Amino acid sequence: MTTIAFIGLGNMGNPMAANLVKAGHKVRGFDLVAENLEKAAEHGVEVATNGVEALEGAEVAITMLPAGRHVLSVYEEIAPKAAEGMLFIDSSTIDVESARKAHAIAAEHGLLSIDAPVSGGVGGAEAGTLTFMAGGSDAAFAKAEPILEPMAGRIVHCGEAGAGQAAKICNNMILGISMIGVGEAFVLAEKLGLSHQALFDVASTSSGQCWSLTTYCPVPGPVPASPANRDYQPGFAASLMLKDLRLAQEAAQASGAATPLGAEAAQLYALFEAMGNGGKDFSGIIEFLRGKAGQ
> Binder to ligand NAD among 4, 18, 40, 74 (CB under 6 A)?
74
Contacts with 104 (C-beta within 8 Å, 6 or more apart), sequence order: none
31 touches ligand NAD (CB under 6 A)? yes
Beta carbon nearer to ligand NAD, 32 or 194? 32
93 touches ligand NAD (CB under 6 A)? yes
Tell me how far apart the alpha carbons of residues 193 and 213 are, in angstroms, rounded to a whole number: 19
Residues in the chain, overall count? 295
57 exposure class (CB count in 10 Å sphere: 0-12, 13-18, 19+):
exposed
- Interface stretch with ligand NAD, choices 28-36, 96-104, 181-189, 200-208 (CB under 6 A): 28-36
- Interface stretch with ligand NAD, choices 119-127, 142-150, 186-194, 207-215 (CB under 6 A): 119-127
Beta carbon nearer to ligand NAD, 120 or 183? 120
**Residue ranges of the alpha helices (H) in 195-237?**
196-203, 211-214
As measured in angstroms, the least distance from the Cβ of 12 to ligand NAD is: 3
User: DSSP strand E in 87-209: where?
Assistant: 87-90, 112-115, 118-119, 130-135, 152-159
- Interface stretch with ligand NAD, choices 26-34, 148-156, 175-183, 253-261 (CB under 6 A): 26-34
Tell me how far apart the alpha carbons of residues 237 and 26 are, in angstroms, rounded to a whole number: 32
Largest CA distance in the chain: 66
As measured in angstroms, the least distance from the Cβ of 178 to ligand NAD is: 18
How many residues touch ligand NAD under the rule CB under 6 A: the total is 27
The dihedral built from the CA positions of residue 23, 24, 26 and 32, taken in this order, carries a sign that is: positive
Whether the Cβ atoms of residue 9 and residue 40 lie closer than 8 Å to each other = yes
As measured in angstroms, the least distance from the Cβ of 135 to ligand NAD is: 15
Pairing assessment for the beta strands 3-7 and 26-30 based on DSSP bridges: parallel
Residue 168 designated active-site: yes
11 touches ligand NAD (CB under 6 A)? yes
Whether the Cβ atoms of residue 207 and residue 185 lie closer than 8 Å to each other = no
- Estimate the crossing angle of helix 96-108 against helix 163-191, to 10 degrees: 160
Tell me how far apart the alpha carbons of residues 182 and 289 are, in angstroms, rounded to a whole number: 11
- Interface stretch with ligand NAD, choices 31-39, 138-146, 179-187, 275-283 (CB under 6 A): 31-39
Beta carbon nearer to ligand NAD, 30 or 88? 30
64 touches ligand NAD (CB under 6 A)? yes
Residues 239-268 that bind ligand NAD (CB under 6 A): 240, 243
Residues 203-242 that bind ligand NAD (CB under 6 A): 236, 240
Query: Which residues sit at the interface with ligand NAD, rule CB under 6 A?
Result: 7-13, 30-33, 36, 51, 64-66, 70, 74, 92-93, 118-119, 121-122, 236, 240, 243
Q: Which of the residues are catalytic?
A: 168
